[in-house]
Structure 1
Amino acid sequence: MSDPDGGARQRQAAPMKRFHEILLLIGQLNYTWTNTESLLIYLIAGLANVDKETAVIIFLTLNTTRARIELVERLAKMAKTPSDRRQEILAVTQQLGKQAKLRNKYSHCIYSFDETGDQASTQLMAIFDSKETIKYGKIEQIDDAELARISEAIDQIMRINKGIWAIVERHSFPR
C-alpha cells in the first residue's frame, strides 16, 4: 500500500531544493568574494611598503570595494613599481572589478521566492535616472542561466584569489 501524501511531499521537496540551491550559491559568492577582497591587504602592504597591520588599517578605513581596488591600482601605477609587477597587479584588479558588478547585484538586492521555492527573482535596490523619469526596483528572474553565471563568477573569483596569492608570494609581500 502506498502513502497517499508521499507524492505531494516529494513534489514540494523538489522545488525547495531549488530555493536552497540559490541560497547556497549566493552564500558561496559572498564568502568567496569577501575572502578574495581581503587579499587586497597584502597588495597594499607590498606596494605601500608597510607592515600587514598598517595595511589592515588602510583597508578597513576605505569602506568600499571600489576604493580599495582603486588604491591598489594607484599604488601599482607609481613610478617606483616595476613595470612587470604593475601589469600583473593591474590585470588582477581589473578581473576583480569585473566580478564586483555581479557580486554587488546579489549583495544589494531583495530576493523573492514563490510559495514553492521554485521560482526566484531579485529586485535591485537602486535608482536609475533618465532625463525625465526615474525607475527603481528592477526585477529579474533567477533562472538556470543566471545560476550558471553565478557559478562561473565564483570560479573566476577563486582564480583571482590564487592569482593574488601568487603575486604576494612571488614578490615577498608582507604576510
Structure 2
Amino acid sequence: MSAADAPTMADEFQTFLALMGRLNYTWTNTESLLIHMIAGLADVTKEVATVIFLTLNTSRARIDLVERLAKLDAQKPDLREEVLSLTRDMHKTLKLKNKYNHCIYSFDNEGRNASTILMRISDQKHKIEYGKSSPINAREITLVRETIQKTQTLNKSLWEFFKQRKFPV
C-alpha cells in the first residue's frame, strides 16, 4: 500500500465515530436487558420492572439495583454469583462507553490528531486533576471494536441466563 492509499487521520476519526455509534447502540440494547434481570430478581412483572428501570436515570444506578437485588439473603448463592459476574462485564463496557461519551474532543491547528479530554475531576490527597488527554489512534479503535464484540457476547449470555433461570422475557 502506498502512502497515498494509507488511511488518513480524518478517516481514522470517522471510523472511530462510526464505532462509537455502534458501541452506544450495542450498550443501550444490552442495558435494556436489565429490565428482565430486575423482573426476575425482584419477582415482579416485566411491566413493573420497566417502570423501575425507567425511573432510575443512570446506567450505574440500574446496575447497582440489580447487584443489590442479587445480594439479598433470599437469593441463592449460585444465582448471586452468576448475576454479579454478568454485571461485572457490564461495568467494563460502561466504563469505556462513558469515557468517550463524557469527554470533549480536540484537534491540532489543522484539524487532525484527534484526542479526548476527559470531563471528570479526580480528587487526589492534596489536589485535584482534570482534563486528562489521550489520543484517538488505532489502539483505541481496536479497543472500541473489542468492547463492541464483548458487549454482543454479553447480550447473548444474558438471554441464555434468562432462559435458564426462567426470568420474565
The alignment's TM-score, normalised by the length of structure 2, stands at 0.88
Query: Could you tell me how far 1:140 is from its partner in structure 2?
Result: 0.7
RMSD over aligned Cα atoms:
2.1
Question: Structure 1 residue 89 and structure 2 residue 78: aligned?
Answer: no
Contact 2:12 2:138 survives alignment (8 Å): no
8 Å Cα contact 1:18/1:117 also seen in 2: no
Q: Which residue of 1 aligns with 2:70?
A: 76
Deviation, structure 1 residue 54: 0.6
Superposition deviation, residue 116 in structure 1: 6.5
Other-structure match for 2:144? 150
Shift of 1:34: 1.0
**Native 8 Å contact 1:47 1:76 kept in 2:** yes
1:140 to 2:134 alignment: yes
1:58, distance to aligned residue in structure 2 (A): 0.6
- Please give the secondary structure, in 2, of the residue aligned with 1:150: helix
Please give the residue correspondences for 1:111-130 in structure 2 after superposition, counting only pairs within 5 Å: 111-114=105-108, 119-130=113-124
Q: CA deviation at 1:121?
A: 0.5
- Pairing 1:62–2:70 present: no
Residue 98 of structure 1 aligns with which residue?
92
Stretches of structure 2 lacking an aligned partner (at least 5 in a row): none
Identical aligned pairs, as a percentage? 51
Contact 1:15 1:116 in 2 (8 A): no
Shift of 1:33: 0.9
Q: Distance in 2 between matches of 1:115 and 1:51?
A: 55
Letter in 2 for 1:85: L
- Give the C-alpha shift of residue 83 in structure 1: 2.4
User: Within the alignment, does 1:43 sit opposite 2:41 as a pair?
Assistant: no
In structure 2, how many angstroms separate the alpha carbons of the residues matched to 1:79 and 1:129?
Answer: 35
Bigger Cα Rg: 1
In the alignment, residue 89 of structure 2 is paired with which amino acid?
Q
State the AA in 2 paired with 1:119: N
| TM-score normalised by the chain length of structure 1 | 0.85
Unaligned runs of 5+ in 1: 1-9
Query: Shift in Å at residue 66 of structure 1?
Result: 1.7
Detail structure 1 runs of 4+ shifted over 4 Å in the superposition.
Answer: 114-118
Q: How many residues of Structure 1 are paired with residues of Structure 2 in the alignment?
A: 166
